[in-house]
């Protein structure tokens, strides 16, 4: 089975990509790793404005995992989506994680959030992707995708309020070089952490059945 992982910048501050213009080839063509050339240009202009204001911006990273077998993960202690959340949230600056419909499920109903199943080329498939590729903590064989929210760079040159070691309220302005955005640098980190988590799940799955253990050691 051909497994592959693709991560990209879905949003930089208020600038989001247009799904209709999604182009995987575009990701490596711009420094923001956005799959939408038009959105990348707008985001670059927005970041220039942030720099002029001695400020920074947050953003959103989406990651897609293709070709997963059915059954990776566990119903309780080693849920695939939970392990992915743990891995991605362990990345510095990542403050949020959602899979599938994510927080949108909070305002949905059962009828609008449940995925519709169907038969496709003799196999069970899904017409919708609200679950994000997992069911009951395990991969369901469909595209698995999630999003990670990344906070703005905290070290900005603009004047901020803080407290010194003596407990006195003061103003601080951080000197030196400041990146206005963390998101593009974190895209490859999200891919790497995802790959490690999926590989761990694949290795664990090898021992889920006794016959697989026997076959492994007989080879």
Q: Kindly report, residue by residue over 130-175, the tens digit of the pLDDT.
A: 999 999 999 999 999 999 999 999 999 999 999 999 999 999 988 8
Q: Mean pLDDT over residues 203-211, rounded?
A: 83
Residue 177 has pLDDT above 90, yes or no: no
Tally of structural domains, the chain: 1
User: Which of helix, strand or coil describes residue 63?
Assistant: strand
Q: Mean pLDDT over residues 110-128, rounded?
A: 92
pLDDT at 1: 45
pLDDT at 89: 97
The count of other CB atoms within 10 Å of the CB of residue 24 is: 10
Residue 216 has pLDDT above 80, yes or no: no
CATH number at residue 137: 3.60.150.10
Q: What percent of the chain has pLDDT over 70?
A: 99
CA 134 to chain centre: 15
Kindly list the strands in the beta sheet with 59-66, ordered across the sheet, starting from the edge strand earlier in the chain. Answer: 15-16, 4-12, 59-66, 144-150, 94-99
pLDDT at 194: 98
Q: How confident is the model at residue 219 (pLDDT cuts 50, 70, 90)?
A: confident
Contact 77, 186 (CB under 8 A): no
Q: Mean pLDDT over residues 119-127, rounded?
A: 90
- pLDDT tens track for 38-70: 999 999 999 999 999 999 999 999 999 999 999
Average pLDDT, the chain: 94
Tokens of residue 75, six digits: 């119903």
Q: What percent of the chain has pLDDT over 90?
A: 85
Residue 89: which domain range?
4-218
pTM, 2 dp:
0.91
Using alpha carbons, list the distances in angstroms from residue 26 to 105, 132, 189. Answer: 30, 24, 19
DSSP state for residue 24 in the 8-state scheme: G
């Amino acid at each position: 089975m051909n497994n592959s992982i693709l991560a990209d910048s879905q949003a930089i501050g208020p600038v989001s990509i247009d799904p209709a213009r999604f182009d995987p080839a575009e990701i490596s063509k711009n420094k923001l790793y956005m799959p939408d050339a038009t959105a990348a240009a707008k985001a670059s202009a927005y970041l220039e404005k942030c720099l002029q204001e001695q400020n920074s911006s947050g953003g959103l990273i989406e990651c897609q995992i293709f070709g997963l077998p059915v059954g990776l993960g566990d119903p309780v202690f080693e849920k695939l989506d939970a392990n992915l959340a743990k891995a991605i949230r362990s990345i510095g600056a990542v403050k949020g994680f959602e899979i599938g419909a994510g927080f949108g499920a909070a305002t949905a109903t059962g009828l609008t959030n449940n995925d519709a199943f169907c038969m496709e080329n003799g196999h069970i498939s899904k017409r919708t992707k609200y679950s994000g590729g997992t069911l009951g903590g395990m991969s369901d064989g469909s595209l698995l995708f999630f999003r990670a929210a990344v906070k703005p760079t905290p070290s900005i040159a603009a004047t901020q309020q803080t407290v010194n070691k003596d407990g006195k309220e003061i103003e601080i302005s951080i000197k030196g070089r400041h990146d206005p955005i963390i998101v593009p640098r974190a895209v490859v980190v999200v891919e790497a952490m995802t790959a490690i988590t999926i590989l761990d799940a694949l290795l664990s799955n090898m021992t889920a059945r006794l016959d697989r253990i026997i076959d492994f050691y007989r080879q």
